[in-house]
Amino acid sequence: MPTSAPPGNRFERRRAETRGALVRAARQILAEPGDASPSIQAIAERADVGFGSFYNHFESKAELFDAAVVDALEEFGRSFDASLTGIDDPAELVAAGFRLSARMADSHPELMQVLRRHGLEHLHSERGLTPRALRDLEAGMTSGRFTVTDPTTALYALGGSLLSLIELRFARPELDGDEAASNLAEMALRMLGVPAADAHDVARRPLPHLA
């Protein structure tokens, strides 16, 4: 049952609330440093729901944590859709994605910590930025804006570069985030075959506000 479905009655509403509370608690845990692996009891307490209700929604902790990452990925993807409408150039879309991600490290730290810590293993995900990046990549390949040998490796290289930018924002907060993001976006565009001078300019075009 998707959490976004309008709950039909009090039972369904309460059920959706419980699931949402568990996912939010798991997201908080995933955003925290360390390899802590709290018990289901501790997660239920953190979510302020009964221990027994956990198994009404999830078969295991792994399933809950996976749902929490997917939830973060979807929020991340929706932010981009809302912010980037009206941009048609695939190169500008890629660059804006990098630059908005750096800003989201400041504005949405919990979400971005989840991606920082768990994004790599979800690079193949059908949620979040991956399908959007693939769409932009294919549009750019079709139009000749991008020249890459293989879309799968290009997608992974883009994802890895984006994760390194998120890591850089958190590990080196003293660096200018906008400048680091433009530098990294510029390199990502070069990687996709955009000429150097063009990549430099596109990575510094006016950036839409985050929706």
In the set 43, 44, 100, 154, which binds a copy of itself (CB under 8 A)? 154
- State which residue, 107 or 152, has the beta carbon closest to a copy of itself: 152
Out of 1, 82, 175, 211, the only residue in the binding site for a copy of itself (CB under 8 A) is 175
- For residue 56, the minimal CB distance to a copy of itself (Å) is 22
What does the angle CA 159 – CA 112 – CA 15 come to, to the nearest 5 degrees? 110
Least CB distance to a copy of itself at residue 14 (A): 28
Q: Does 184 bind a copy of itself (CB under 8 A)?
A: yes
Size of the site for a copy of itself (CB under 8 A): 46
Q: Reduce the secondary structure of the chain to three states and give it as a string.
A: CCCCCCCCCHHHHHHHHHHHHHHHHHHHHHHCCCCCCCCHHHHHHHHCCCHHHHHHHCCCHHHHHHHHHHHHHHHHHHHHHHHCCCCCCHHHHHHHHHHHHHHHHHHCHHHHHHHHHHCHHHCCCCCCHHHHHHHHHHHHHHHCCCCCCCHHHHHHHHHHHHHHHHHHHHHCCCCCHHHHHHHHHHHHHHHCCCCHHHHHHHCCCCCCCCC
* Of 41, 147, 178, 211, the one binding a copy of itself by CB under 8 A: 147
User: In the set 86, 150, 206, 209, which binds a copy of itself (CB under 8 A)?
Assistant: 150
Give me the 40-69 binding string for a copy of itself, x by CB under 8 A, dash otherwise.
---------------------xx--x----
Enumerate residues 69-128 that contact a copy of itself by CB under 8 A. 116-117, 120-121, 123-124
Q: Examine residue 174 and tell whether it contacts a copy of itself (CB under 8 A).
A: no
Q: Which of 4, 36, 206, 209 binds a copy of itself (CB under 8 A)?
A: 36
Per CB under 8 A, 153 contacts a copy of itself: yes
Best CA proximity match to 191, nearest among 199, 179, 182, 203? 199
Q: Nearest distance from residue 149's CB to a copy of itself, in Å? A: 5
